[in-house]
């Protein structure tokens, strides 16, 4: 996470930025502004501090509507996945067969599914499984991937060669196939087998990114200087290389979070991901798919919720990448 922006007052100036700056892609303007800012310290400003990559990125992100919207959306999703009772009063497992596939009625805005369960309640409760799987799998894959990839990039040699070949092997296995084979023998109804599987197939991608950015970072002059001053491997890695190599990993991990949620739903849809009684959008979509001709609402609500969740994480990652990588602007 970027550290909070240090309010050294230049923020005051941006408030009067032209109101036409609506779109996230208003790049020329942003470029001009950031250029203006880099020129600014020449003046007699009150001890203007040089901005780090992070505070610069945070500064840009704050004014990016895509970032703000997706962040708010994600906060909302996290809150309702912890306390679904806040907006849904019913019980997702309590169903009334006599209402099978009926449309909306007062108190049940999204209608009922084949079992007569309230689609609204199930859609709200479905967030929990998706968000849990997404966050746990991303944290796991990011930790494992950046640790293995970072060490491979830093030390090089045979460890690097072995790790790169192992990553190649994992890339060679089609994800959905691997999921079908590995998870079809699992009988657990918790989220952990799915999380474990996603970590298993997700870490090579992150390791590749981490390896590349560590190799770039370790060639910098200040790292050579630290070595010349007698810093040990541990200190160099933690104090000099890691902080300068972590940005691409964070970006890829954020985007991956969205795709992991989508992958979980796909596996659940195929019947090998999460299993009932866990409430999951993938399972509900799978059950609704065969009934799409009679009751499309059963499919559209959970599918919409799933798509918006994935979209929020992908947009967040996209905005963060634009902010962290000045070359893309």
Q: List residues near another protein by CB under 8 A.
A: 23-28, 165-166, 168-169, 172-178, 180-182, 184-185, 258, 262, 265-266, 269-270, 285-286, 289, 292-293, 296, 299-300, 303, 306-308, 310-311, 314-315, 318, 328
How many helices and strands, by DSSP H and E, does the chain display? 13, 0
Helix axes 119-155, 65-82, angle to 10 degrees: 110
Q: Nearest distance from residue 92's CB to another protein, in Å? A: 20
Cβ 297 to another protein, closest distance in Å?
Answer: 12
Nearer to another protein, 11 or 174 (CB): 174
Complex with another protein: residue 242 or 274, whichever CB lies closer = 274
Residue 237 neighbours by CB distance under 10 Å: 20
Q: Which residues pair with 95 in a beta bridge?
A: 117
Q: Minimum CB separation from another protein for residue 172, in Å?
A: 4
> Taking the C-alpha atoms of 183, 270, 299 and 308 in order, what is their torsion angle to the nearest 10 degrees?
60
Contacts 24+ apart (CB under 8 A), 217-224: 217/241, 217/244, 217/245, 218/153, 218/154, 220/244
Q: Encode 137-163: b = buried (16+ Cβ within 10 Å), e = exposed.
A: bbebbbebbbebbbbbbbeeeeebeeb
Q: How far is the CB of 99 from another protein (least distance, A)?
A: 23
Cβ 203 to another protein, closest distance in Å?
A: 15
What is the closest distance, in whole angstroms, from the C-beta atom of residue 234 to another protein in the complex? Answer: 32
Q: Which is closer to another protein, CB of 123 or CB of 242?
A: 123
Q: How far is the CB of 250 from another protein (least distance, A)?
A: 19
As measured in angstroms, the least distance from the Cβ of 173 to another protein is 6
Residue 241 or 256: the one with the smaller Cβ distance to another protein is: 256
CB-nearer residue toward another protein: 198 or 310: 310
C-alpha torsion 58→13→16→317, nearest 10: -10
Q: Which is nearer to another protein, 144 or 166 (CB)?
A: 166
Minimum distance from CB of 53 to another protein (Å)? 21
- Give the C-alpha separation, 13 to 318, whole Å: 26
Q: CB-wise, 44 or 293, nearer to another protein? A: 293
| 273 token code pair | 């991901």
Looking at the Cβ atoms of 35 and 292, the one nearer to another protein is: 292
- If one counts every other C-beta atom within 10 angstroms of the C-beta of residue 41, the result is 14
Cα(71)–Cα(315) distance, rounded to whole angstroms? Answer: 9
- Give dist(CA 9, CA 1) in Å, integer: 22
Dist. CA 34–CA 16, nearest whole Å: 15
Q: Which is nearer to another protein, 48 or 325 (CB)?
A: 325
Q: DSSP state, 45?
A: -
């Amino acid at each position: 996470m970027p550290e909070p922006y240090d309010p050294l007052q230049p923020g005051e100036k941006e408030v009067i930025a032209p109101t036409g700056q609506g779109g996230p892609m208003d790049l020329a303007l942003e470029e001009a502004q950031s250029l203006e800012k880099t020129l600014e310290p020449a003046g007699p400003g009150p001890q203007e501090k040089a901005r780090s990559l992070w505070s610069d990125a945070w500064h840009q992100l704050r004014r990016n509507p895509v970032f703000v919207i997706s962040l708010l959306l994600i906060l909302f999703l996290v809150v309702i996945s912890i306390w679904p009772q806040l907006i849904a009063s019913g019980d997702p497992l309590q169903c009334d067969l006599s209402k099978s596939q009926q449309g909306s009625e007062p108190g049940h805005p999204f209608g009922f599914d084949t079992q007569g369960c309230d689609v609204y309640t199930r859609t709200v409760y479905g967030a929990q499984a998706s968000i849990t799987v997404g966050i746990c799998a991303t944290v796991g894959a990011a930790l494992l991937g950046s640790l293995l990839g970072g060490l491979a990039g830093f030390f090089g040699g045979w460890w690097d060669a072995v790790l790169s070949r192992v990553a190649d092997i994992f890339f060679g296995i089609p994800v959905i196939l691997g999921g079908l084979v590995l998870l079809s023998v699992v009988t657990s109804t918790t989220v952990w087998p799915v999380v474990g599987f996603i970590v298993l197939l997700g870490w090579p991608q992150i390791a590749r990114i981490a390896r590349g950015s560590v190799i770039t970072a370790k060639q910098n002059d200040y790292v050579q200087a630290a070595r010349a001053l007698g810093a040990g491997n541990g200190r160099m890695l933690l104090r000099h290389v890691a902080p300068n190599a972590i940005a691409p990993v964070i970006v890829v991990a954020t985007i991956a979070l969205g795709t992991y949620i989508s992958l979980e739903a796909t596996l659940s849809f195929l019947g090998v991901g999460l299993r009932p009684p866990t409430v999951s959008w993938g399972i509900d979509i799978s059950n609704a798919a065969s009934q799409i001709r009679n009751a499309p609402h059963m499919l559209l609500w959970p599918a919409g919720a799933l798509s918006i969740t994935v979209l929020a994480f992908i947009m967040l990652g996209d905005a963060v990448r634009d902010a962290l990588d000045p070359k893309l602007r």
